C-alpha cells in the first residue's frame, strides 16, 4: 500500500513511555499514647559529697489522683566515708555507717519507683543523675519512668524566680524543712498537686516540664 510509512519497533519504543505504577502511601495514624493514671512518685536525694554516687538519704512520696497516699524514707551508706554536705542536711558518716548501701535498698526502691506514670523532683536533672550513678555503681538498671522537673513547672506556672525549693515552698505556703529528704520530697509532691488544682492535666505538665530521655553513655 502506498502513502503509509512503516514504523519500526525501535521508534515506537522511543515514542511511547509507560510510567510504572506507584503505590499510593496510606498515612499512618499516630500511635495514641496511653492516658496517665494520675499515679506518680516525688523523690529527693541527699548526697554526702560531690560524687553523684554518694547518696546518703532518699525519700519517696507516692501520689494518686492528687492525694498523697504513702511515703518512704531511708538513710543510705555511701561508698566513701568523707562527708562534704553535712552542713546542709545534717547527715554524717556516724549516722549512716550501719545503714544499708544503695544496692541493698534497690528491691525496696524499685517497689516505690515502679508502676508510676512518672517521677517528680525539684531540679530533677540532679536527682535523676544521682539515681543513675547509684544504679551504675551497684550494677542495677535504673527505672525507665520519665522525670518531671518542678523547677521548670514553678517558673512556668507561677513565674517564681529564684526557684529554689525554699522559694517555691514559701510562695505556695508549703511547710518545708529544706535539705531534709522527707520534707523536700513532700514539698515537691505538693507543688504538683497545686499545679493540678489550677487545671493543668498531667499529660500537659509532663510534656512541658519533663526531662529529655538520657542518651546512652550520659549520666544525667
Residues 6+ apart with CB under 8 A from 108: 72, 74
Pick from 172, 132, 176, 128: nearest CA to 153: 172
**Predicted local distance difference test score (pLDDT) of residue 217:** 58
**Ramachandran angles phi, psi of 39, nearest 5°:** -110, 120
Residues 6+ apart with CB under 8 A from 69: 62, 63
Pick from 203, 183, 52: nearest CA to 118: 203
Q: Is 178 helix (H, G, I), strand (E, B) or coil?
A: coil
Burial 76-99 (b: 16+ CB within 10 A, else e): bbbeeeebebeeebebeeebbeeb
For residue 147, what are the β-bridge partners?
119
Pick from 98, 101, 112: nearest CA to 42: 112
Quick check: 76 and 57 in contact, CB under 8 A?
Answer: yes
Cell of 104: 541493698
* Helix, strand, coil distribution of the chain in percent, nearest 5: 40, 15, 45
**Predicted local distance difference test score (pLDDT) of residue 215:** 74
Q: Give per-residue pLDDT as tens, 38-57.
A: 999 999 999 999 999 999 99
**Predicted local distance difference test score (pLDDT) of residue 216:** 63
User: Domain limits of the chain?
Assistant: 39-209
Q: Give per-residue pLDDT as tens, 115-143.
A: 899 999 999 999 999 999 999 999 999 99
pLDDT beneath 50, residues of the chain? 1-16, 29-32
**Predicted local distance difference test score (pLDDT) of residue 151:** 98
**Predicted local distance difference test score (pLDDT) of residue 46:** 98
Give, rounded to a whole angstrom, the gap between the first and last alpha carbons of the chain: 87
Angle at Cα 38 formed by Cα 220 and Cα 199, nearest 5°? 100
**Predicted local distance difference test score (pLDDT) of residue 78:** 98
Preceding amide of 150 cis, omega within 30: no
pTM for this entry: 0.83
**Predicted local distance difference test score (pLDDT) of residue 214:** 81
- Let me know if domain 39-209 sits in CATH 3.30.420.10: yes
**Predicted local distance difference test score (pLDDT) of residue 26:** 53
**Predicted local distance difference test score (pLDDT) of residue 4:** 41
Amino acid at each position: 500500500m502506498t502513502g503509509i510509512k512503516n514504523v519500526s519497533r525501535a521508534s515506537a519504543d522511543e515514542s511511547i513511555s509507560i510510567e510504572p505504577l506507584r503505590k499510593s502511601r496510606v498515612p499512618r495514624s499516630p500511635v495514641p499514647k496511653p492516658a496517665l493514671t494520675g499515679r506518680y512518685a516525688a523523690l529527693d536525694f541527699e548526697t554526702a559529697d560531690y560524687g553523684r554516687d554518694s547518696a546518703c538519704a532518699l525519700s519517696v512520696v507516692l501520689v494518686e489522683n492528687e492525694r498523697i497516699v504513702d511515703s518512704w524514707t531511708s538513710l543510705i551508706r555511701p561508698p566513701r566515708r568523707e562527708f562534704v554536705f553535712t552542713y546542709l542536711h545534717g547527715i554524717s558518716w556516724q549516722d549512716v555507717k550501719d545503714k544499708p548501701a544503695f544496692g541493698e535498698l534497690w528491691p525496696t526502691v524499685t517497689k516505690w519507683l515502679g508502676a508510676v506514670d512518672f517521677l517528680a523532683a525539684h531540679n530533677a536533672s540532679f536527682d535523676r543523675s544521682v539515681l543513675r550513678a547509684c544504679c551504675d555503681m551497684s550494677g542495677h538498671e535504673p527505672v525507665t519512668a520519665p522525670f518531671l522537673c518542678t523547677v521548670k513547672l514553678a517558673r512556668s506556672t507561677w513565674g517564681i524566680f529564684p526557684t529554689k525549693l525554699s522559694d517555691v515552698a514559701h510562695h505556695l505556703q508549703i511547710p518545708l524543712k529544706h535539705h531534709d529528704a522527707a520534707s523536700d520530697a513532700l514539698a515537691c509532691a505538693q507543688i504538683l498537686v497545686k499545679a493540678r488544682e489550677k487545671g493543668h492535666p498531667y499529660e500537659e505538665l509532663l510534656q512541658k516540664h519533663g526531662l529529655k530521655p538520657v542518651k546512652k553513655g550520659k549520666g544525667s
